[in-house]
Chain A
Amino acid sequence: MNIFKLSRWLGVGAPTWCFALMLGLDGSTTYAADVIAIRGKQIHTVSGKTIENGVVVCVDGKIATIGDAGSVAIPEGAVVRDAEVVLPGLIDVRTCVGLSGILNVDHDSDHLESSSPLQPELRAIDAYNPREELVEYLRSFGVTTVHTGHAPGELISGQTLIAKTTGNSVEAAVVVDGRAICATLAESSQKSGKQSPGTRGKQMAMLRTLVLEAIEHRSKLAKSPSKEDGKNTGDENDQGGKAADAAVVVRNLKLEAIVDVLEGKKALLITADRAQDIASALRLADEFKISIWLDSAAEAHAMLPQIAAAKVPVLLHPSMARASGEKENITFRNAALLKKHNIPFAIQGGYEPYVPKARVVLFEAAIAAAHELSKEAAIEAITLSPAKILGIQDKVGSIEVGKDADLALYDGDPLEYTSHCVGVVVNGKLFPGESRD
């Protein structure tokens, strides 16, 4: 038996077991080899056909080759792994992981700032902790990308970012900074006593007022003598010798964030569960012609034609979200119904204020699959569909040559309760699957 065959028999590449097993800076086990080959009895590319007995070769963090085991040559020295089922790395389309920590104490809770009801200027990049234990926990079940950020609970709570579930710093982890701005139309974002907003009417009035202010701000910016990337820099020296007059717009981070929404650079993510709040969200989008995402949407089943007509994607609540409060009319069938009505949707892990502190999208998709959504559609709802909604489908979401080498490996049907995630690849780096000990 030559050394290469032996290494394949052991299920690892020669460089791994001979030389170079080492600990990464973030504590994870990584391998020196930059070539990984994953052999899968079933490889769900999601964008194309499912391959039986296939191989995915990853080189320098990208997917280099995909094909039948018989036709694809595994490069010499590659780290080799076997799995029953291979999926694209899973994407959680809406979570607060990394901002809302495992201990749930002030020290690790940065998902909700309650000093003011409208704070679109709060960036997720300033709050995301890539070393949060729950990020690693989610990754161990196959989650490789998270769209995370500020939580529901204020009328506008702040921004989101998209990150990979690896990296020692937020800069290393981030894929897109400032992807969306989070708004909430619910009782949870209402105040008591003489504080605003105290009613649903006031919530909408405050949102409309903010958008109108942003429209005004944008038109002032357009006329301003000093512009950079559509924004006034606010630097006094930046007036180019021109007379300091009223045309110079003072920078306003709050309104700039909303201007980004007006210009389609950021989406407005609106958390709404009750049908009437979903209707309000659609009304706002229609009034200002802005791009919104419906978040949670427990009563989506009662608003299917309206959501479909508005062509608004849904970041659907976790299937196992609790049927109480404003979600009292939630149904396990929401995912299947959205699919049936051709409404783009993805299934989220969501925000959890207590236990479980984070939900695993794999588990949530499985419950949808048990309630009339096809297995294929359930897998798509946590891979390619969220990638498309988030606008990162050129990088992630399916197994295609040239995309990031993000893969999730399972020892059986990934949606089945008793299967296991046996390994995860993020940016071509191999990480362990779920803990069995």
Chain B
Amino acid sequence: MEMDRRRLLQLGASSIACMAVGDVCSHRSRAEGVSGETTAWLDAKLLTGDSKAGPAVIDRGTLVVRGSKIIAVGRTGEVAIPEGTKTIDAGGKWIMPGLVCTHSHIGGGAAADGSAPIQPGVRILDSINVRDSGFKRALAGGLTTLNIMPGSGHLVSGQTLYCKLRYAGKGPTTIDDILIRDEQGKSLGGLKMANGTNSQGDSPFPGTRGKSAFLVREQYIKAREYHAKVVAAKEDLEKRPPRDLHLESLVEAMQGSRIVHHHTHRHDDIITVLRLAQEFNLRVVLHHVSEGWKVADEIAAAKVPCSIIVLDSPGGKLEARDMALKNGRVLSKAGVTVAFHTDDWITDSRLFARSAALAVRAGMDRDQAVSALTLAGAEMLGLESRIGSLSPGKDADFAILSGDPLSVYSRVLQTWVEGEKAFDLSEPSDALFAEGGQGAGSDLDPFLCCYAQAWQVGGAK
């Protein structure tokens, strides 16, 4: 773990150096401390996802991967290929960073129950079915990282889960196999909050927007007082208040170590989130943000990023009536960092890139739209030092496509997660999830194979 941190620091230094010398960034490398087999994809069209560190597009590019990390990116012919590297002619296919979905519901999980509107201590981690076929469909869309969220029916519906789609080979056995951990080994996730109509209901749920905001403030104030007691007690266990999982989670949110992912649609609800975020020093990401285009300047001034949804028509509820394809364009032009999300199953992860394409249709800048599928999402999860762009030192998470990801005719051919191929369209078992068909909705095969193992064990007795 310590090694990882050092590598991240090195990465930071290298990025700064690149910005200073400009064009050098078109072929960057960082291989120190990385071990494993080395593979290079030559003559690919690379979408780097990061136009700050170097060019957003490299027409004839080379991507070099060692073990689970990217070690070099640049123009073919300019990137040094280490001896013993396995080379693959990409033949002009497109390679982009693994897509990051900042808001997904894959895995059938839920956190808070109907007993109370604020349940920050409940984790979705404890409820996800890792064998859900939705994970394979997400890989078929080029996704490699998800933020799996509880729903929007609560003011605080619980802790979200950041996960990597480590479905190469036999795939994960338990949820632990797909977690993203920090240096201390703690699994990472955010906190899901919501306002507007979804989180209103019969008592004890709030009936109005005013009551919604009041209940949230009340709990954050309580958490602040709780934390003050914990700090005052220092090492004295006698003085320490009994542990409260709910309040601990809110304390993490106020300290910025747990990012708040806030469902919100209407312009006034958006402003309410900004107000609460300021009052309690929350690091917040606005989600859906249907009417973001009406208050883009206010969002930009608050320096709060937006993870937006792109839908084929407005409506379905009053709050989404003014949803518009232009949202991404207006927000990004106002200076707001924009990412897209699938809200899967609201939209299909296999078609995640389509969200960016429709935003471009409505005038969003192309490079920003690609970044909104990758690096911007990584930033919103606080994982930008590890994922989100084709950058040396980052995880080797990438998708290989037949063409431009913003074209309807392009297909994701392969998806790689941490240097391992987790999806391959040419494999019939993977194509089933990419295209659909009989059996595509069932749990993944490993579930059956476990049954078979249990059967054999039983038979041996």
A→B interface (CB under 8 Å):
101-105, 133-134, 137-138, 299, 301-302, 320, 322-324, 327-333, 352, 354-360, 363, 366-367, 369-371, 415-420, 435-437
Q: Which of A322, A333, A355 contacts B315 (CB 8 A)?
A: A355
Residue of B nearest to A138 (CB): B313
The contact of A102 among B315, B357, B440, by CB within 8 Å, is: B315
18 contacts between A and B (CB under 8 A): A103-B318, A133-B315, A137-B314, A328-B441, A328-B442, A330-B440, A331-B436, A331-B437, A332-B435, A332-B436, A355-B317, A356-B315, A360-B312, A363-B312, A415-B408, A417-B357, A418-B407, A436-B362
Q: Does the CB pair A356–B316 fall under 8 Å?
A: yes
| A387 CB, min distance to chain B CBs, angstroms | 23
Q: Are A418 and B311 in contact (CB under 8 A)?
A: no
B308 interfacial contact with A, CB 8 Å:
no
Query: Across the interface, do B441 and A417 meet the contact criterion of CB distance under 8 Å?
Result: no
Enumerate B422-461 residues with CB–CB distance to A below 8 Å: 435-442
- In the complex, residue of chain B having the shortest beta-carbon distance to the beta carbon of A372: B435
B363 at the interface (CB under 8 A from A): yes
Q: A418 to B357, Cβ gap below 8 A?
A: yes
Whether B361 is near chain A, meaning CB under 8 Å from some CB there, is yes
- Determine the chain A residues whose CB is within 8 A of the CB of B438 once the complex forms: 299, 301-302, 329
Q: Is the CB of A323 within 8 A of B436?
A: yes
1/0 contact string of B186-210 vs chain A (CB within 8 Å): 0000000000000000000000000
Instruction: Verify if B180 is at the interface (C-beta below 8 Å from A).
Output: no
Give Cα distance in the complex from A327 to B133, angstroms: 14
Closest 3 interchain pairs by CB? A328-B441, A102-B315, A331-B436
Residue contact A366 to B315, C-beta cutoff 8 Å: no
Q: Which of B334-378 contact A (CB under 8 A)?
A: 345-346, 348, 351, 354, 357-358, 360-363
Q: Select one of A333, A420, A435, A436 contacting B436, CB under 8 A.
A: A333
Contacts of B437 in A (CB 8 A): 301, 329, 331, 333
Instruction: Kindly provide the distance from the CB of B289 to the nearest chain A CB, expressed in whole angstroms.
Output: 14
Instruction: Please give, as numbers and ranges, the residues of chain A lying within 8 Å of B317 by CB-CB distance.
Output: 103-104, 354-355
Nearest opposing residue in chain A for B312, CB measure: A356
Chain B contact residue count (CB 8 A cutoff): 38
Give Cα A302 to B357, complex, Å: 32
Q: Does B18 belong to the interface (CB within 8 Å)?
A: no
The answer on a CB contact under 8 Å between A359 and B409 is: no
The answer to whether A357 and B315 touch (CB under 8 A), given A103-B321, A331-B435, is yes
Whether B345 contacts A330 by the Cβ 8 Å rule is no
CB closest chain-A residue, reference B310: A356
Q: Which one of A134, A138, A420 contacts B361 once the chains associate, using CB atoms below 8 Å?
A: A420
Residues of B within 8 A of A (CB): 137, 311-318, 320-321, 324, 326, 345-346, 348, 351, 354, 357-358, 360-363, 406-411, 435-442
A238 to B14, CA, bound (A): 94
Do A329 and B441 touch (CB < 8 A)? Answer: yes
CB neighbours (8 Å) of A418 from chain B are 357, 360-361, 406-407
Residue of A103, A323, A420 near B440 (CB, 8 A) is A323
Residues of chain A lying within 8 A (CB to CB) of residue B411: 370
- Name A101's closest neighbour in chain B (CB-CB): B315
Determine whether the beta carbon of B351 is less than 8 Å from that of A320.
yes
Q: Give chain B residues whose Cβ lies under 8 Å from the Cβ of A369.
A: 408-409
> Which secondary structure characterizes the binding site on chain B?
loop
Can you name the residue of chain A whose Cβ is closest to the Cβ of B360? A418
In the complex the two chains form, what is the Cα distance from A370 to B405 in whole Å? Answer: 12
Cα distance A328–B440 in the bound complex, in angstroms: 7
**Whole-angstrom distance between the alpha carbons of A436 and B293 in the complex?**
13
B361 closest partner in A (C-beta)? A418
Q: Which of A102, A299, A436 contacts B314 (CB 8 A)?
A: A102
Partner of B320, one of A137, A355, A419: A355
Q: B311: nearest residue on chain A (CB-CB)?
A: A356
Q: Within 8 Å CB of A354, what residues of B?
A: 316-317
A357, B316: Cβ atoms closer than 8 Å: yes
Complex alpha-carbon distance, A417 and B406, angstroms? 7
Cβ-defined contact, A417 with B313, below 8 A: no
Whole-angstrom CA separation of A263 from B87 in the bound complex: 68
Contact pick for B435, options A299, A327, A333, A437, CB 8 Å: A333
Chain A, residue nearest B344 (CB): A322
Partner of B313, one of A302, A358, A419, A420: A358
Smallest Cβ distance from A223 to chain B, in angstroms? 50
| Residue in contact with B318 in the complex, picked from A105, A302, A328, A329, CB distance below 8 Å | A105
Cβ contacts under 8 Å, B351 to chain A: 320, 367
- Known contacts: A417-B358, A418-B360. The answer to whether A329 contacts B316 by CB under 8 A is no
For residue B410, which residues in chain A have a CB less than 8 angstroms away from its CB? 370
Instruction: Return chain A residues, CB-CB under 8 Å to B326.
Output: 435-437
A105 vs B357: C-alpha distance when bound (angstroms): 31
| Cα(A428)–Cα(B318), bound, Å | 34
Given A133-B314, A356-B313, 10 more pairs with CB closer than 8 A = A134-B313, A322-B345, A323-B440, A329-B436, A329-B439, A330-B436, A333-B437, A360-B313, A370-B408, A418-B406
Q: B354 to chain A: which residues have CB within 8 Å?
A: 417
CB distance from A225 to the nearest CB of B (A): 52
Q: Are A324 and B348 closer than 8 Å at their CB atoms?
A: no
Min CB gap A95→B, angstroms:
11
Nearest-CB distance from B20 to chain A (Å)?
35
Separation in Å of the A219 CB from the closest CB of chain B? 43
- B362 / chain A contacts, CB cutoff of 8 Å: 436
C-alpha spacing A332/B321, complex, angstroms: 29
CB neighbours of A134 from chain B (8 A): 313, 315
Please, which residues of chain A bring their CB within 8 A of the CB of B358? 417
- Asked if A417 and B436 sit within 8 Å, CB to CB, the answer is no
Q: Which chain B positions have C-beta within 8 A of A357? A: 313-316
A359 and B313 contact, CB distance less than 8 A: yes
Instruction: Kindly report which residue of chain A lies nearest to residue B362, judged by CB atoms.
Output: A436
Of B137, B351, B361, B408, most buried by chain A (CB within 10 Å of CB) is B408
Measured between C-beta atoms, what is the minimum distance from A97 to chain B in Å?
9
A437–B363 alpha-carbon span in the complex (Å):
9
Query: In the bound complex, how far is the Cα of B441 from the Cα of A333, in angstroms?
Result: 15
A-side contacts of B408, CB under 8 Å? 366-367, 369-370, 415-417
A359 to B312, Cβ gap below 8 A?
A: yes
- Roughly how many angstroms separate A121 CA and B91 CA in the complex, as a whole number? 61
Residues of B within 8 A of A329 (CB): 436-441
**A332 contacts across to B, CB distance below 8 A:** 435-436
**Residues on the A chain within 8 Å of B407, using CB:** 416-418
Q: Which residues from A are CB-within-8-Å of B346? A: 355
Contact of A324 among B324, B345, B406 (CB under 8 A): B345
Residues of B within 8 A of A371 (CB): 435
From residue A112, how far is it (CB to closest CB) to chain B in Å?
15
* Inter-chain contact A323/B316, CB cutoff 8 Å: no
- Please measure, in the bound complex, the distance between the C-alpha atom of A260 and the C-alpha atom of B21, giving whole angstroms: 78
Q: Which residue of A lies closest to B351 (CB)?
A: A320
Q: How far is the CB of B379 from chain A (nearest CB, A)?
A: 25
B-side contacts of A435, CB under 8 Å: 324, 326
B292 CB to closest chain A CB (Å) equals 15
**Cα(A162)–Cα(B314), bound, Å:** 23
Pair A323/B435 contact, Cβ less than 8 Å: no
CA distance A369 to B351 in the complex (A): 14
